[in-house]
Structure 1
Amino acid sequence: MAFAPGLTFDSSAGRWPLRSSSLSHSLPPYRHLSICFPSAKAADIKADISSASVATAEFDFKAYMLEKSASVNRALDLAVPPQLHPKLMHEAMRYSLLAGGKRLRPILCIAACEIVGGVQAFAMPPACALEMVHTMSLMHDDLPCMDDDDLRRGQPSCHRAYGEPLAVLAADALLFLSYRHLADMDNYPSGVPPALVLRATAELSRCIGAEGLVAGQVMDMESTTDDLNKSVDIDRLEFIHRHKAGVLIEGSVVIGGIMGGGSDCEMKRLRRYARSFGLLFQVVDDILDVTKDLASNKTTYPKLLGMERSREFVEELLCDAKSHMEDFDPMKAAPFLQLLNYGKMLLSH
């Protein structure tokens, strides 16, 4: 299925002139352990990244993350006012939504909008919607019928604080609020084309449903077993990682690019960056949690590939993700490159 006609924001004119587009909303997934480059291409990538290193070094990553997360938190606070009724349900929604966190997904959404020429105001409504969806997924994950976790972000999980029935309903309410918040044109500056919002809504639906997050959760549940003789192969593990967590990261970047009016080529590069970025952080997480995961017989990349090959895979994903940033403005690409460096840095500590 192809996207609706593409739109590119003209910053000098303050509008999006219509332009034809044939970009498909989905790309074939990478095969595991198949990310590689011919030597000439790898040399070009290294040179391009080196030329951007000065701009990246001047970029204050910590200040950027703090400023963007503060903006997102203010918008989320306004999106779910405390005085609404039923009061206890909205209290539970705010309890989980405003409990903290890095706000990685909304920040990626805003950064992707800005890298293709948009501004933060275009991306803030979908950024908030993405964080609502992410929070909903965590509330569901914590339930006794799922992971049965008592704590989330250093405080009792929602079902422990408000009871299981209300936690389920509050999570459902956040999910539906996310769509309303994304689709409400009153949340956007004047002149934002409804066609962009429609495309963003379709992308969010794909990321959440049977093609995305829900599919990953189901596969994860089916793969959780105490039977030491029942194995999960690398294809299944990659599917789980890409869909349970990676797909919402992909959606965040793609939706931001949509709202900024990204071109076909820009959208393709953003999507591929996000796919490698999302899987990279899952593999890093597997490596960091290797002791705990082995004790629980959880299938991970280190378990299937070994620690050394898993670290090599991280480097391959890192190289691939960086390659998709090479044609963007270095300063606007800096958040994306610094996030990759952060993922790699975690392995050195």
Structure 2
Amino acid sequence: MKKLTLLALLCSGTFLSAQAQTRTTKKRTTTTTTTTTTPAKSQPETAAAPAAPAGPLTLAAVRTAEPGTTVTVRGVVVNGGELGNIRYIQDREAGLPIFSNTLDDLKNLVPGDSVEVHGTLKNYNSLLEMDPVQSVKKLGSGRKYAMVTVPAAELTKVLNETHEGRLVKITEVERLTTTGGNPASALAGNVNYLINGQAGAIVRISAPSNGPDGLVGFTPPTEKFDLVGVVGQHSPSGTPTGYQLLPRLSTDFVVAGGLPVIKGEPVPVAVTKNSITVDFSTINPGTTKVEYGATPALGGMVEDKTPTKQHQLTLTDLQAGTTYYVRVSSANSMGISTQPAVPMITRKK
């Protein structure tokens, strides 16, 4: 009996040992399988990557980015070389200056050009600009661009961060003064002036704005005018108090709403028995048109469509010693200005 019991115990121990070995083998197999499949589980995390931006950003979005950010933007150019090697572009919501001393593609841009620009944002004396510029692609030309309009009494509504880089129009300006309060005469380059002598209402004249239509040497109007310019900023201290208006050319000083208003009456400056040369001037450039006839009904007409402020046309094939009624007019994109007919007489001999 003892032998049988001992034999049973020995057999039982062998079976238990075999069962324990089998669990160990299964456990190792399980562990090995787990170890092998772990990298497979982590593969999707390793492969994930941030989505790339979908095309150019709006200028409003770019203006919220930090300096040092590289961006691609699109906009319409609002100035040429009269402000130097900087071009301001704008879309419907915001504006941004683009600067380069070396990139010819940028220097060749003129107002109305539609562009795509790629480069890095920079804080230049508190002005957010793109510098350096890596590439400029011209997309079109002759594009229209809008401007924000406010009266001079509400100037602070546009001399701010929201409108930095945008073209604006200030209406009902009474005068431009030096920073000392004296009336501005011939304007000088790289000099600040003030709108209506108001502190902080800075107008900056750019030295490259010269030539026939330039601002250097230009005398501002003495009557009320509108003033167009780009909103810039120059605040070396970092405090945003240096907002300034940057007019581009003398044509940004707009009298009479831009209409070619005729100044005074037309006068005959050269008269023969068969001709009269008619001379008149307008406040703003416009075409030249002279209607004439031996009666107030007129009937004859000569015209020159070249825009100018100094107008002169000659009436020919006239009768000697005859009174002619002469009416002049001038037109541009803003409208038409016409004067009532006045009499002029040819010579008898």
TM-score range, shorter chain: under 0.3
| TM-score (ref. length: structure 1) | 0.25
Q: TM-score, normalised by structure 2?
A: 0.25
Structure with the larger helix share: 1
Whichever structure has more strand as a proportion of its residues is: 2
Structure of greater Rg: 2
Q: Which has the higher contact order (CA 8 A, sep 6+)?
A: 1
